[in-house]
Structure 1
Amino acid sequence: IIVLFTGAMLTKQNTLLLVFALMAGPFVINGWMTFGMLQAARVRRKVPVRAMQGELFSVEITLRNSRPWFALWMMTVTDEIVHETETLSASVLFSRVSSRTTQSGQYQLRLSGRGRYVLGPIRAASRFPLGLVERSRVFATTSEILIYPRIGRVSQSWRQRLGGATELNSRKSPNLGLFQDDFNQLREFRSGDNPRAIHWRSTARRGQLILREFHQNREHTLAIIVDLFGESFHTVMTREQVDFALSFVASLLIERGRECRDGYLSLTAVGESRFDWEGQGTSSSLESLFDGLALFQPGPATEAVEVVRTKLQQLPTTTQILIVTTRKAGLPYQNLLTSRVELLNLNDVREDDLLTFEDYRPATRSPRSVEV
């Protein structure tokens, strides 16, 4: 085309100029139409605020045509998903969007990393109508999504081990009822009730047999200390070990909260910083727990010794303490460990012996591209 244009200008021949126009015209028309469509396009993104590792969720992309007469044709909207460990891209193709209308498309993600993902910017591109020229427009719209640690099922052996250790703790609570159970209410004596549970003062006052009713109390308290010691977080092995440690802790707290509705639960994690959480059974606010675990990173964990010492001094003797650590050797709080402290070193056990996952678990963390 350049040779034809140069020859037409030098020789002043209209034939060469006409051939040049016929060859350059499609490129100009293609670029002009594509530019007009991109100027009329309006793109929005709707993304969930939170999700879980390995969970499949959808991101909605909305494309609006602001032109009053012409439609948008064959437009590809590409979204970028950025994390500190990976970068992904996802594309949605809109074949036709009529004038003054809006269409929605979706792409699905299954993210393997934990923490904060940043979505954006969005790039809209098209080659319509001839496919000769591709033009694009970047929309500087960003969104964030927080990826929680995965929740699994704690193995039966570890539940029994932790429960047995809790039962061995000495209890200083007074014996207020049968079998150390809690008093619930007074009611009339029925046939088959235990006569030893008759409340004689109420019986004398009312003139009929009144029974003390108890409900079973097995609300064991649990305090977890997570010692995430790590010099570097850029290796895959360290990331997977840390993610598993946080998944195990979160799963254990959820299961203990379901089993012990009124049981006191607490978590203290030390690593790059310190994170504290307290709750009580099923009434606990799990959102703050998962938000803290999603952003927690390993580090020098200089406060580990002080945290263990403080918990032993402040918590009652009926509270079972579990320490989850990733240190390979040389525990700085070794001399503080007592019978009420259960130690779990993730370097000495298999992951399958602690936690099982029923959903999908990605095998690698290599960048992926999803197109819908």
Structure 2
Amino acid sequence: MESRRYFTRSARWVLASLWPTQRLLWTREGVLYIAVWAGLLATGLNQQINLILLVAGLAAGPLVASIFASAAMLRKLRVTRRIPAYVFSGEPLTLDYTLENSRRWMAALALAVEDDLTPLDRIVSGSSSVTPRVFFARVPGMTRARLRWQGPSPRRGKYRFRMLDLVTRSPFGLIERRVTTLEPALLTVYPRVGQLTRRWQFLQRQASETRRGMRHDRSAQQQEYHGLRDYRPGDSPRWIHWRTSARLGQPMVKEFEQQNEQDLAILLDPWLPRTKVMPEQREALEKMIQFAATICLETCRHQGRRLLLGWTGATPGVRQGPASVKLLHELLEQLAVMRPSSEGTLSTLFDTLPPATLREAVLVVVSTRPVNLLEEAERSERLSGTAARGLMGRVVLLDASNDELTEFIQFPDDQSPNPAKPSPSSRTISPAPMIQDSDQDEVEAITEGSPR
């Protein structure tokens, strides 16, 4: 055990030596100060004037004091960050930074915390890094202080926090000393979401009706089983639960919860050419993803229907399940990292869909290029000619390249009144920021038994 501990300590020492955590940088004021000090020293030595040499010797004091005082200022300090699990693009990004001063008597003065948020993969054109920075004016000994940084969130995708820099220029601002600590973390930025217009509600209602104008009805086998209840006159004998009825000595029937809404399938065709991609095409792709994210959010607010998200590509993908918060997070995360593709067709995507979706669900097909949906359906191995033509009555086909989505979705900055958002206590998630406390800093004392 002793040899293992010695080896562990030695390995940590070697890693600390190879990866320096502190850096000294001369500030602009420090460079000017050194230039003046060097001039005084050179003049005193050249002219042999003791008074000038005395002044130069006294002027060296702040330089030496800055080196040792800055090192002492960063001793026994610990900085941590708290980030949300996700954030919607376009919404404020809120980060909390906590500085803990474990020194008993000495306060921490004039400290800045610098962070770096970089995209894992620049799948979205225009993705950029974010560099949060907060400033702690004074943190007394044996206390911790918290500051909040808030800024605009980047574009959709996955982002990575790597290192935190604790920076001080104390006491004279001549030298900047940095201590780097590894604090890795991941942040998922969901696509921007808006509000669906009434025209979209009307269009979806039309697609939910059959050609005769009657709303599609489900068979009893496709209804959700709710429980058991006593037999009532007029109940079908097929729904009697014979085992429970024999145990209780009275007839009991199964009770089902009627689902009035059809399942919804969102099929995306994120096509972009291999070369010479125009900015308008990239913008159409982002609008398509924002539209799909908004539909997923609105659908999962109300449980009782199944939701499916499919996308074309070299390998078509499908995510589905009952409308819920868990499914919503899965779909939004998939949309956040969705890549454009120059391969894949809708006919291949139709082959990967479950038979019940092709037979029952309302299909919302959004593409970044003009497509002939009937031809794509007829090319599918799962759909015959008659089935393909029957599918057209339940399909909403939208072309994002023609700016067709603008009449179906609105964003808060496109209209004067902001749409009401659900409270954070509800089960469904909201595009509002997760942390909604005040922006003032907090200071609390560290007790002897508190964790550090």
TM tier, smaller: 0.7 to 0.9
1:23: Cα distance to partner?
1.7
Give the counterpart letter for 1:31 in structure 2: I
Q: How does 1:136-151 map onto structure 2 within 5 Å?
A: 136-151=178-193
Q: How does 1:330-345 map onto structure 2 within 5 Å?
A: 333=376, 338=389, 339=392, 340-345=394-399
Alignment check: 8 A CA contact 2:101 2:142 kept: yes
Q: Could you state the TM-score of these two structures normalised by the residue count of structure 1?
A: 0.76
1:72: Cα distance to partner?
1.3
Alignment check: 8 A CA contact 1:146 1:294 kept: yes
| C-alpha distance in 2 between matches for 1:43 and 1:283 | 33
Q: How does 1:215-364 map onto structure 2 within 5 Å?
A: 217-231=259-273, 237-258=280-301, 261-271=303-313, 274-282=316-324, 285-302=327-344, 304-311=346-353, 315-327=357-369, 333=376, 338=389, 339=392, 340-358=394-412
| C-alpha distance in 2 between matches for 1:110 and 1:129 | 33
Give the counterpart letter for 1:20 in structure 2: A
Unaligned runs of 5+ in 2: 1-36, 239-253, 380-387, 416-440, 442-452
Alignment check: 8 A CA contact 2:86 2:189 kept: yes
| C-alpha distance in 2 between matches for 1:111 and 1:89 | 11
Alignment check: 8 A CA contact 1:228 1:301 kept: no
**CA RMSD, 1 decimal:** 3.9
Structure 2 vs 1, CA of residues 314 and 174 (structure 1 numbering), >3 Å: closer, same or farther? closer
Alignment check: 8 A CA contact 1:275 1:292 kept: no
| C-alpha distance in 2 between matches for 1:303 and 1:168 | 27
Q: Could you state the TM-score of these two structures normalised by the residue count of structure 2?
A: 0.64
Q: Which residue is equivalent to 2:170?
A: 128
Bigger Cα displacement from structure 2, 92-101 vs 343-352: 343-352
> How many percent identity over aligned positions?
25
Structure 2 vs 1, CA of residues 158 and 169 (structure 1 numbering), >3 Å: closer, same or farther? same
Give the counterpart letter for 1:289 in structure 2: L
Give the counterpart letter for 1:246 in structure 2: I
Alignment check: 8 A CA contact 1:221 1:263 kept: yes
Structure 2 vs 1, CA of residues 25 and 307 (structure 1 numbering), >3 Å: closer, same or farther? same
| C-alpha distance in 2 between matches for 1:200 and 1:16 | 110
Give the counterpart letter for 2:376 in structure 1: Y
Task: Please tell me whether residue 25 in structure 1 is matched to residue 61 in structure 2.
Answer: yes
Give the counterpart letter for 2:38 in structure 1: I
| C-alpha distance in 2 between matches for 1:357 and 1:131 | 46
Q: Which residue is equivalent to 1:43?
A: 79
Q: Which residue is equivalent to 1:105?
A: 147
Bigger Cα displacement from structure 2, 276-285 vs 147-156: 276-285
Structure 2 vs 1, CA of residues 112 and 237 (structure 1 numbering), >3 Å: closer, same or farther? farther
| C-alpha distance in 2 between matches for 1:15 and 1:306 | 89
Q: Secondary structure at the match of 1:138?
A: strand
| C-alpha distance in 2 between matches for 1:201 and 1:27 | 95
Residues paired across the two proteins, number: 344
Q: Which residue is equivalent to 1:153?
A: 195
Bigger Cα displacement from structure 2, 234-243 vs 269-278: 234-243
Give the counterpart letter for 1:165 in structure 2: A
| C-alpha distance in 2 between matches for 1:169 and 1:258 | 29
1:214: Cα distance to partner?
9.0
1:292: Cα distance to partner?
1.4
Structure 2 vs 1, CA of residues 169 and 35 (structure 1 numbering), >3 Å: closer, same or farther? farther
Alignment check: 8 A CA contact 2:305 2:322 kept: yes
Give the counterpart letter for 1:94 in structure 2: F
Q: Which residue is equivalent to 1:72?
A: 108
| C-alpha distance in 2 between matches for 1:200 and 1:122 | 68
| C-alpha distance in 2 between matches for 1:7 and 1:284 | 74
Alignment check: 8 A CA contact 2:73 2:170 kept: no
1:276: Cα distance to partner?
1.8
1:359: Cα distance to partner?
6.6
Alignment check: 8 A CA contact 2:94 2:148 kept: yes
| C-alpha distance in 1 between matches for 2:101 and 2:89 | 35
Unaligned runs of 5+ in 1: 190-197, 203-211, 362-371
Task: Please tell me whether residue 86 in structure 1 is matched to residue 128 in structure 2.
Answer: yes
1:114: Cα distance to partner?
0.1
| C-alpha distance in 1 between matches for 2:67 and 2:414 | 44
Structure 2 vs 1, CA of residues 274 and 68 (structure 1 numbering), >3 Å: closer, same or farther? farther
Structure 2 vs 1, CA of residues 271 and 298 (structure 1 numbering), >3 Å: closer, same or farther? farther
Q: Which residue is equivalent to 1:365?
A: none
Q: Which residue is equivalent to 2:433?
A: none
Give the counterpart letter for 1:297 in structure 2: R
1:118: Cα distance to partner?
1.9
Give the structure with the higher percent strand: 1
Q: Secondary structure at the match of 1:88?
A: coil
Query: Deviations for 1:186-241, whole angstroms, at most 9, x for unmatched residues?
Result: 7768xxxxxxxx45989xxxxxxxxx999764231222211101237987645543
